[in-house]
Structure 1
Amino acid sequence: MTAEEAPGPAAGGPQITISYAGFNRAWAAWIADRLERHGCRVIQERWDPSADVPLEDALRDLMYADGHILVVLSDWYFQLGPRTTEAWNTALRTVVAPNGRRFTAVSVTTGPMPSAVTAFGGAAQLWGVGAREAERRLLTRLGIAPAADEQADGIVRPRARFPYEQPRVWGGVPRRNIRFTGRETALQAVYRRLQESGTVTLLGMSGVGKSQIAAEFVYRFSSDYDVVWWVPADQRGTLRQRLAELAPALGLTTGPEYGERLRAVRDALRRSAPNSRWLIVLDGADEPEAIADLVPEGSGHVLITSQNRRWDDYYSSLLEVPVYQRGESVAFVRRRARRIEAEEADMLAEALGDLPLALDQTAGALNDTTMPVAQYVGLLRAGADVEVGLRVSPDFPMTYYTTFSILLNRLRETVPEAVDLLRLCVFFAPGPVPLRLLRDTPLRDLPERLSSLMEDPLRWSAAVAKLVQYSVVHREAHEGGEPGSEPETLHVHRMVHQAVRAGMSEEDRDTFSRVVRRALAAADPRQPSDPRLWPRFAELVPHLEASGALHSTHREMQRLIINCLRYLYLSGEYRGGVHLAERADRAWREVLGENDPLLWDLASHHATALRATGAYARTARINREVIRHLTAERGPRDLGVLRAQDGLAADLRGLGRYQEAWETGRQVLGGYLELVGESDTRTLNAQNNLAVTLRLLGRYGEALELDRKTLEARRAALHPRHGWSLSSETNYALDLRLLGRYEEALSIQERNSDLHRTVLGADNPQTLRSELNLGMCLHRNGDRAAAGPRLAGLLERAQRVLGEDSPLTLRAAACYACVQRAHGDTDLARRIGEDTLDRYRRSLGPGHPFTVGTAANHALLLRTAGELEQSLALAEECLEGMTAAVGPDHPWTVGVALDVAVGRNLEGDPERAAGLNRENVRRASATLGAEHPLTLSCMLALASDLRALRRRQEAERTEREALAGLGRTLGPQHPHTVSGRSRVPVYWDFEPMLT
């Protein structure tokens, strides 16, 4: 909601805030004028709350104003949003009805309104009556006695015109668009700039709605003018004629010649005689050089609509008109086609690039058919000819495509190089087109007509300037460009992109697309593992499909696509990688056939990206098929087979089948050692992955040794700051932490996380994994104050970057919930923990170790909340599930068993608790060692059980031994040690691991 200053409120009178829809601005201005003349102090408040603000809150915000609130009711007031009638009725009953003394309403419509408008106590009907009667009803409704002298404040001011009264001189203005939507910021900017400079040019591409904004401005602000004259300005002759026709309307005495009338009109406007408040609209003035000398001067205002930014050279203030904001698009489509739901309107707006004219004509066509919006969008994206069915209107009888073709023809006649450049641009993706990619294309690869454009800087600059001048494209600064590179990008709107491509012959399409593909191939950085080159890959990926690269049979293009897939995975753009792999698979099957070797290579990359999203069952099927095919064709000792087998091992880890993953991983490592040797990066990757499997099997010591070996080899073969080296360092620190060596792990992980941020960036998934380990190192090392906020921020970033169902996001959520349960907000921990558990159940199934472990964490939360019986029942169930999933000796099973034993003790069954804890101590000692924190925790729990059984000597001996071990391992002041001395019941948290 925006406040608009009233022109000089009276001092001392009652204060009234007028709330109105922008469409009814003329009514608000007249009402304010009338009230001020009767001694009121008035503030005008334009009603335009954001769609995401609840109506109740928006209405309550009105009440922050002092004094009375006068609401100007109309269809537009209730449609902003748009909001449902039910929502309005609820809001009016909730806010207005209890505060009836603060609210009064007038109505300027006869249309239907929500039934709860009765909360205003009735509305004075101003629609359909004359000015005098409307004023009487207004004052009566507010209980204001008419002033004997209307100018009660003694201030002389122009009288605001009654909305039904047009300015004395009114000509050529298009009829008002009753579906006009949004543009409030633009309308206010036009008003403000006209006051400042007198002449404003609404500048923008064809179809962006410049004329509609100008017409709506006229209707909203017509009360500010005595003369409003609308002039088509696309031709000088038409402009001269229409301006000359203003002479008799102004009452000027002239001869019959146009020239004489024109001179008289310009002189009258300059002298502001007989009217100083005039507005001239020059619509479609795309050739400023031809008509600039005819633009009126004087104390009035000139509003120009144009595609040509050269008006800046003629002392006009340029106001760029962008496409709709998405909320405006959705609201407009739903007004244009009532059958279209909000989600469908959003889909259509995305496909049409939020261009108002395209939205209007397309929504109009869809409103007359039963075609689903999704089907229409599919046809549009497939390049189908949809122009025939577009719905035009009397106000704009040409389709967008026809309008744009006329502009292209004009450009072709004057600067043909500009059209060639534009045709090149549309074989990049809609949006930003880096000019550097075109300029760096080897001239030998270009047709003569294009090479002459590329090698001549003057012709090139002239072509760019002409496209920008006519608002066909927008120039944008290109951040991060290399020294000496082209410093700009051209932004091509989606509908410009579609219209230009639709109008090209097959021969031209082939010529221009081939040039763009060569530009992309020439720009291939070729090293997707180097983070320094990722910005250059990011520049290329969006253009692969639009350029036709996916259907190219040239090996350099196919290599570029594979490199881009590797970049997308390594940079963490998993969903983008899945999308590209799927599109490439369909395209390559068309052009290469079903059995081309490249398809199997592509399938492995597809599975890698898909696995990162958690789709393990699907990737396992893909990798098994690749293995089957390549083994039959090449034999088992093939590098392609080994890569697919390594992927299958990862799939098995994701599915919780760790022993199978171990066997497969051992075979893969043996194969790489035989074929490429121990120092090859592929061998080191297989070695790294085998350590991951060992960690999931609970064999932390073996994982540590293998990770140390891999880390040393990667540092020697690559570089200590290489991404794979940093990943190995994270894994090594993780192994140390899992072994209870918390200080060592923290000292390594702190430096490692800093390097990850520097080398890969803060939001790279590998950085997020590193920081997750850092947060847990802090937590295990006793720095709980630092761990909580770090994990909270990490979870928010993971959700934003990867999505809520990403495996890494779920890991972060599970860890954060545990920290919050133990040392923070248990209600928050419960919400996050239950949500994480539900997501694991849906994605991995109820028997997966991660699902069972997260359920065990929930059992601990129930214990914290005092729900001991329910907690123990769930924990017992989890113990059975974890034993079935990973076996009785796995540290995860021992940890769940510890929680079960403590629960049994708390529920008064120390005998069974002690029996289970004796077994826990034995299993933990055998698997992790006698002084591992989990082993010592089991001993503390056993001591508690023995005390409950009155075996005091054995209990004290067991407790002393455990506390001594904690003191040696963690230190005497570690929270774990302190809690043990205080005999606080112990617990074990499950932490999902990297798979």
Structure 2
Amino acid sequence: MAYCVSSVAFGDGGRGVQVGQSNAPIQASFYYPPEPVEPTPPPFASIPFRRDPTFVNRGDILDQIGRQCSEPASRVAIVGLGGIGKSQLAIEFAYRFAAHSAEKWVFWVHASTQARVIEGFMSIADKVRLMGRNRPDADVLQLVFDWLCDGRNGKWLLVLDSADDSDVLVHSTSGDNDDGLKLVEYLPQSQNGSILITTRNKYLALRLTGTHQAIHEIGPMTKEEALMLLKKRLGTLSDANAAADLVRSLDLIPLTISQAAAYIQMRAPRTSLVRYLNEFRQSESKRVKLLSHNAGDLRRDLRQDGGASNAILTTWQLSFDHIRSRRPSAADLLSFMSFFNRQGIPKSLLRSPNNNNNAAQSINPEDIIDSDSQGSDDETENEFEDDVAMLRDYSLIMLSEDENVFEMHGLVQLAMRRWLKAQGLQDKFLEQYITVMASSFPTGNYENWTVCRALFAHVEAAAEYRPNGDNLKKTWSGLLHNGGWYEWLQGRYAVAEQMVSQGRGTREKLLGKDHEATLASMSLLSLTYLNQGRWAEAEKLQVQVMEARMAKLGADHPDTVTSMNNLGSTYCERGRWEEAEKLFMGVMEYSKAKLGEDHPDTLRSMSNLALTYMKQGRWEEAERLQMQVLKIWKTKLGADHPDTLTSMNNLASTYCDQGRWEEAHKLFMQVMETRKAKLGEDHLDTLTSMNNLASTYMYQGRWEEAEKLEAHVMETRKAKLGEDQSTYMYQGRWEEAEKLEAHVMETRKAKLGEDHPDTLTSMSNLASTWKSQGRHEEALSIMESCVQRQRQVLGLSHPFTNLSLSTLDKWTNN
């Protein structure tokens, strides 16, 4: 703007001179020509984004915001994680607010930086045509503030979008000068206006609104909302199940769903919803690639400091950078947490994580369950709580129902790990995670099950990583060994196999085949094979382990004796009773001499020997040993210990084989009730107990009780191992028996494979049902198939094979 010099005055000592150079002060006075009078426009909405035609409402949140914004001088905040849909809600609300009354103003100010806030206020000044705004000395912030405070100018709504950085609003606009004005002071509390704030920072939201009641925390969408958004974005959902799986995989976060939909549309028809989902599930690197795709969204402020990227990983990394600059210890805590399973992260493992790198001696497993029992000095605790508060304020972590357990979004963890990799920090925090987990996760023994149950998901997470450095790899393999040990005892044999196999491979490479740690992994791996009916594989490994231990440790070393015991168990499963008996007898005699009659290894060898007697029909010898073992277990471990219950179960089975149903029933009932209480109704051992109890009902003619119990087992066991359904056969209810047995057989085929011994048992049972129905040709066909597979899997000498062969010969001859 042009302006004129009105007069020039010289100070004392300078009057009457022609000035080329003067040391006297010179004072100039300026005047500004009068500005043309601009009429104030009628109220209108100034929203820099078009309305979203694919907007999905989130419950009644907009109605709640509307009621609060109708109050005079109200301030309301929408708080949540980046990409959760805060700005989309604000845009929709602004349009609804404007549509409700044409006499109201709507202004939009981007608050990512001080420059953007000042720019927003200058834009308001231009839009309402404030007098004096163009003068060089104009204080536009004050002019806009005064205008907003003037009730004569009408009602207004000011949206303060992306106010994530508290420094932008509460620090002085004059840099380090604390005397300068702060932008927050120009946000009026006017009776004729309301302010709606969107922010990732809950603490800042509280400072700006002054009350928790004015803060709306936004989390992920519901599944229904997420599916609706995906459908609106894609136009149609070709596969409803795949769509549901996809939105769950994307953590129900709106930006990730929109990003995925844009990617699919951009690459259609070569990329479909199903293909995107399959790629997303392939690997972490695939997920990173897909989530780094920056699809255009005109409703995101791309002029923010650093850019409001439409790629969700970039969006969150801006938050990580901000936290790192404000509170490095909070960023370290978030980095550490990003390696855990996203749920059930115990506070006890997080406190002072930098001090836990040598925590093998310092972490008490009981403290994992009772976090408050692990003391720490007040200063350290306060520092930790401040870190947690900051991460919670940014919605990066959440408290579960138990205040000592945290949760995170899986995709936030993924973004954090990617950020750490870019910063060259991933190995540091991965080492910290694996070291802490290895020192915290105990062996799989019964007394550790409570701790193992609480931490196992984090062991599974550790199994997905590939650490660097030989020492860390050794630590990692030990963690996987203990995790596999626990899973094996829980009856989850496939998971146990995978975990132990990983650990074994690492140990073999670093330590050698004959190292005791490697042999321990091989031994445990063989037991997972044994329980999956892969007896040949189990035997091969067990022979290798036994021979290596004999050569290295000697025949009378406890580890060698354990190997002999394991091999004997495999012989038992394969029906090689005499070989098993010989091994078990040797183990028992050694254990008695070296360890004593009441040592756990001695008792287990006695129990195994009794099993071989039972299988050979030597009931009295079996019963005598089992009674002896049960008495000692009860005294040493108590009546509810798993080893005690196994002994009771074995003794009851011996009673069954002798037709002593009432005695068997009493023991089976006690075992079942205890296992229910200790292990849960769906544990494999509990289900076995139920089946055993049902068999006593069946042989006593108590059909309804047997049927009820076996039906319950079948429903519970669908995802487990399946079970035999013979109750209906004994009642002559062939159609129901056939239906159940066919279901069991198909389930076992799917879960265990066509050649698993349990699957072959189901085939034999189904053949018997068809034979009883008069379906002779079908029965012969399936029994022939069963015998053929049993010959291959179990061998000609196995009792089960012989029984099936005998049945087949009888049917054929008749």
Question: 2:427·2:468 contact (CA, 8 Å) conserved in 1?
Answer: no
Instruction: Give the partner amino acid of 2:63.
Output: Y
Match of 2:389 in 1: 465
Cα pair 2:357 2:436 within 8 Å, conserved? no
Structure 1 residue 473: Cα displacement: 1.8
Name the structure 2 match of 1:318: 215
Distance 1:620 1:304 in 2: 68
1:435 aligns with 2:338: no
Q: What amino acid is the match of 1:308?
A: N
Q: Offset at 1:659?
A: 6.3
Whole-angstrom CA distance in 1 between matches of 2:736 and 2:679: 31
**Cα distance in structure 2, aligned partners of 1:457 and 1:191:** 40
Contact 1:655–1:848 (Cα < 8 Å) also in 2: no
SS state at 2:345 partner:
strand
Q: Which amino acid aligns with 1:520?
A: M
Among 819, 823, 835, which residue is 2:727 paired with?
Answer: 819
Deviation at 1:345, TM superposition (A): 6.8
For residues 765 and 237 of structure 1, the distance between their equivalents in structure 2, rounded to whole angstroms, comes to: 65
Instruction: State the partner residue of 2:459.
Output: 541
Q: 1:411 corresponds to which residue?
A: 323
Q: Please give the secondary structure, in 2, of the residue aligned with 1:439.
A: coil
Deviation at 1:687, TM superposition (A): 3.3
Alpha-carbon distance in structure 2 between the residues aligned to 1:711 and 1:214: 70
Give, in whole Å, the separation in 2 of the partners of 1:254 and 1:379: 62
Q: CA deviation at 1:376?
A: 5.5
Q: 1:679 to 1:446 in 2, by over 3 A?
A: closer
Partners of 1:893 and 1:405 in 2: CA distance = 66
CA contact (8 A) 1:433 1:491 kept: yes
Q: What secondary structure, in the 3-state scheme, does the structure 2 residue paired with 1:490 have?
A: strand
Encode CA deviations 1:215-247: one digit per residue, 9 max, x unaligned: 456668875464555442334664465467557
Q: AA paired with 1:357?
A: L
Note if contact 1:852-1:878 (Cα within 8 Å) is conserved in structure 2. Answer: no
How far residue 602 of structure 1 moved from its aligned partner, in angstroms, is 1.1
3-state SS of 1:203 partner = strand
The alpha carbon displacement at 1:462 in A equals 1.5
1:724 deviation in Å?
0.7
Alignment deviations for residues 79-127 of structure 1 (CA, whole Å, 9 cap, x no partner): xxxxxxxxxxxxxxxxxxxxxxxxxxxxxxxxxxxxxxxxxxxxxxxxx
On the 8 A contact 1:856/1:874 being kept in 2, the answer is no
2:662 to 743, 746, 750: 743
Map residues 793-808 of structure 1 onto 2, 5 A cutoff: 793-799=712-718, 803=719, 806=720
Letter in 1 for 2:394: Y
* CA contact 1:203–1:318 (8 Å) conserved in 2: yes
Q: Corresponding residue for 1:194? A: 66
Q: Tell me the percent identity.
A: 21
- For residues 230-275 of structure 1, what are the alpha-carbon distances to aligned partners after superposition, in whole Å with 9 as ceiling and x for unaligned? 44233466446546755786x798664553344434555xx9x856
Q: What secondary structure is seen at the aligned counterpart in 1 of 2:340?
A: coil
CA distance in 1, matches of 2:237, 2:504: 37
Secondary structure at 1:282's aligned position in 2?
strand
Q: CA deviation at 1:634?
A: 5.3
Q: Does 1:423 align with 2:423?
A: no
Match of 2:162 in 1: 284
Q: 3-state DSSP class of the match of 2:681?
A: coil
- Counterparts in 2 of 1:608 and 1:860: CA distance versus 1, 3 Å: closer
Aligned residues: 707
Distance 2:798 2:539 in 1: 28
Assess, with a 3 A threshold, how the Cα gap between structure 1 residues 706 and 458 changes in structure 2: closer, same or farther. Answer: same
Where does structure 2 lack aligned partners over 5 or more consecutive residues?
A: 1-41, 134-139, 171-182, 303-308, 360-374
What SS does the aligned partner of 2:717 have?
helix
Equivalent of residue 80 in structure 2, options 194, 204, 210: 204
CA distance 1:595–1:749, change in 2 (3 Å): closer
For 2:50, the equivalent position in structure 1 comes to: 175
Q: Work out which of the residue numbers 287, 303, 307 in structure 1 matches 2:200.
A: 307
Q: Output the CA distance in 1 between the equivalents of 2:490 and 2:295.
A: 46
| 647-656 or 421-430, larger mean C-alpha shift | 647-656
Secondary structure of the 2:219 match is coil
Q: 1:609 corresponds to which residue?
A: 528
Question: Is 1:503 matched with 2:419?
Answer: yes
SS of residue paired to 1:553? helix
8 Å Cα contact 2:572-2:612 kept in structure 1: yes
Q: Which amino acid aligns with 2:737?
A: A
Say whether 1:393 aligns with 2:296. Answer: yes
Matched, 1:259 2:149: no
| RMSD of equivalent CA atoms | 5.0
Residue identity matched to 1:468: R
Secondary structure of 1:169's aligned partner: coil
* 1:474 aligned partner, one-letter code: M
- Structure 1: gaps of 5 or more residues: 1-166, 479-486, 905-911, 914-995
Aligned position for 1:523: 440
What is the alpha-carbon distance in structure 2 between the residues aligned to residue 580 and residue 823 of structure 1? 44
| Residues 843 and 361 of structure 1: CA distance in aligned 2, closer, same or farther (over 3 Å) | closer
Q: Using the alignment, how far apart are the partners of 1:192 and 1:825 within structure 2? A: 61
**In structure 2, what residue type is equivalent to 1:833?**
E
Query: Is contact 2:280–2:287 with CA below 8 Å preserved after alignment?
Result: no
Give 1:307's aligned amino acid: R
d(CA) in 2 for partners of 1:364, 1:631: 63
Question: What does residue range 898-937 of structure 1 map to in structure 2 within 5 Å?
Answer: none
1:713 aligns with 2:632: yes
- Alpha-carbon distance change, 462 to 783 in structure 1, aligned in 2, over 3 angstroms: same
Letter aligned with residue 309 of structure 1: K
Q: Distance in 1 between matches of 2:529 and 2:90?
A: 50
1:836 equivalenced with 2:744 (yes/no)? yes
- Post-superposition Cα deviations, 1:615-647, rounded to whole Å, max 9, x if no partner, equal 445444443544465556556665445444544
In 2, Cα distance between equivalents of 1:854 and 1:743: 27
Which residue is equivalent to 1:733?
652
8 Å CA contact 2:763–2:783 kept in 1: the answer is: no
The answer to which of 722-731 and 254-263 deviates more is 254-263
Amino acid in the other structure paired with 1:393: G
Aligned to 1:689: 608
The 1:575/1:841 distance shift into structure 2, 3 A limit, reads: closer
CA offsets, 1:829-856, max 9 Å, x none?
3222112234557888989875665445
Q: How far does residue 725 in structure 1 lie from its aligned partner after superposition? A: 0.7
Letter paired with 1:264: W
Q: Give, in angstroms, the shift of residue 721 of structure 1.
A: 2.4
Quickly say closer, same or farther: Cα 1:390–1:557, change in 2 above 3 A: closer
Partner of 1:767: 686
Name the residue aligned to 2:35.
Answer: none
In structure 2, what is the equivalent of residue 474 of structure 1? 398
* 2:446 aligned counterpart, secondary structure: coil
- Kindly indicate whether residue 774 of structure 2 is the aligned counterpart of residue 867 of structure 1: yes
Q: TM-score, normalised by structure 2?
A: 0.71
- The two structures have a TM-score, normalised by structure 1, of 0.59
* CA distance in structure 2 between the partners assigned to 1:722 and 1:517 by the alignment: 31
> C-alpha distance in 1, partners of 2:739/2:542?
37
The question of whether the paired residues in 1 share the 8 Å contact of 2:476 and 2:503 is answered with no
Instruction: Supply the distance in 1 between the matched residues of 2:790 and 2:499 (Cα, whole angstroms).
Output: 41
Instruction: Give yes or no for contact 1:537–1:564 (8 Å, CA) kept in 2.
Output: no
Amino acid at match of 1:499: A
- Range that drifts further, 316-325 or 430-439: 316-325
Question: 2:60 is paired with a residue of what secondary structure?
Answer: helix
- Is 1:456 the counterpart of 2:380? The answer is yes
Letter in 2 for 1:259: Q
1:972 corresponding residue in structure 2: none
CA distance in 2, matches of 1:333, 1:410: 31
- How far apart in 1 are the matches of 2:131 and 2:357? 66
Equivalent runs, 1:98-113 vs 2, <5 Å:
none
Paired residues of 1:552 and 1:558 also in contact (CA < 8 A): no
Q: Residue 399 of structure 2 aligns to which amino acid in structure 1?
A: R
Structure 1 equivalent of residue 173 of structure 2: none
